């Protein structure tokens, strides 16, 4: 029995060796084929691009620039209309004589006015000048949005005072302090809005309710009433 097993092992050894040899040969062959394909793709040279036709100037056209003569300057004749000349323009015609200055040479002549004494019969005398009506200065600009009181504004003055009601809860809790408010006063002296700047929680509502009932004289800017922003301090003490 042992002799048969020994013979079977001798037969299987050449087969396994042959199988390993075939596997190694197959791997080597595949590797050679893959490397060959890669090398061919890398060093393969494709078709070269065709050269372009060079740019050739087949024909040159010459451009002739014509000379245009400048227009001749014309001197204004002495009989030209005087209305087309600016009043401050320099004279182009030699004056016939020297006249005494009157002080009205640079003033605009009013249309429809007559000739004063001393004018020439041909109508070359000095025309009378109507007084120029001076327009009143424009009214000063009045801001429509509330502004803070400064040196140019007449500050509003309180004419109606309402004492804040001390809340009973604040009295029982012995709460006291200063509430600082910012109020907007319109052009008629009414308090339109109130904002708390420094708060005492139990006293804020009482201070705001009292301030809304106050009345002021209008603040004035250039004599015109304007809305302003003021700061009000309300002190609560036991």
Single out the residue of 217, 236, 237 nearest to residue 226, CA to CA: 217
- The token pair that represents 147 in the structure block: 């502004």
The per-residue pLDDT for 61 is 59
At 186-216, the pLDDT tens digits run 999 999 999 999 999 999 999 999 999 999 9
d(CA 102, CA 219): 53
Strand 228-236, strand 177-185: pairing: antiparallel
Residue spans of the domains in the chain: they are 147-236
d(CA 226, CA 142): 7
Q: Check if the beta carbon of residue 175 is closer than 8 Å to that of residue 187.
A: no
d(CA 60, CA 224): 82
At 36-75, the pLDDT tens digits run 888 887 776 666 667 666 655 555 556 666 677 777 766 6
Measured between alpha carbons, how far is residue 139 from residues 136, 147, 180, 219, 224 in Å?
Answer: 9, 19, 36, 17, 10
Correct CATH for 147-236 of 3.40.50.620, 3.30.2450.30, 3.30.2420.10, 3.40.50.300: 3.30.2420.10
d(CA 59, CA 75): 50
Residue 4 Cα to chain centre, angstroms? 107
d(CA 67, CA 61): 19
Question: Helices (H), strands (E): how many in the chain?
Answer: 3, 9
| Residue showing tokens 């609560």 | 236
81 CB-near residues (< 8 Å, 6+ apart): none
Low-confidence ranges of the chain (pLDDT < 70): 1-14, 44-49, 51-66, 73-88, 103-133, 138-143
């Amino acid at each position: 029995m042992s002799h048969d097993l020994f013979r079977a092992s001798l037969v299987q050894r050449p087969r396994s060796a042959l199988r390993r040899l075939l596997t190694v040969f197959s791997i080597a062959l595949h590797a050679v084929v893959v490397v060959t394909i890669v090398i061919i793709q890398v060093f393969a040279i494709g078709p070269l691009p065709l050269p372009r036709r060079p740019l050739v100037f087949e024909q040159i056209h010459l451009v002739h620039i014509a000379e245009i003569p400048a227009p001749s300057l014309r001197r204004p004749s002495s009989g030209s209309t005087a209305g087309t000349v600016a009043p401050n323009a320099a004279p182009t015609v030699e004056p016939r004589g020297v006249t005494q200055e009157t002080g009205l040479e640079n003033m605009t002549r009013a249309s429809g006015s007559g000739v004063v004494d001393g004018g020439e019969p041909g109508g070359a005398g000095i025309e009378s000048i109507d007084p120029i009506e001076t327009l009143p200065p424009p009214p000063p600009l009045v801001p429509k949005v509330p502004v803070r009181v400064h040196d140019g504004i007449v500050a509003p003055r309180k004419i109606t005072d309402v004492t804040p009601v001390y809340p009973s809860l604040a009295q029982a809790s012995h709460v006291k302090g200063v509430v600082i408010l910012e109020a907007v006063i319109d052009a008629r002296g009414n308090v339109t809005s109130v904002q708390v700047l420094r708060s005492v929680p139990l006293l804020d509502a009482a201070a705001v309710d009292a301030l809304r009932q106050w009345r002021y004289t209008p603040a004035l800017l250039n004599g015109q009433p304007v809305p302003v922003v003021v700061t009000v301090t309300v002190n609560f003490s036991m």
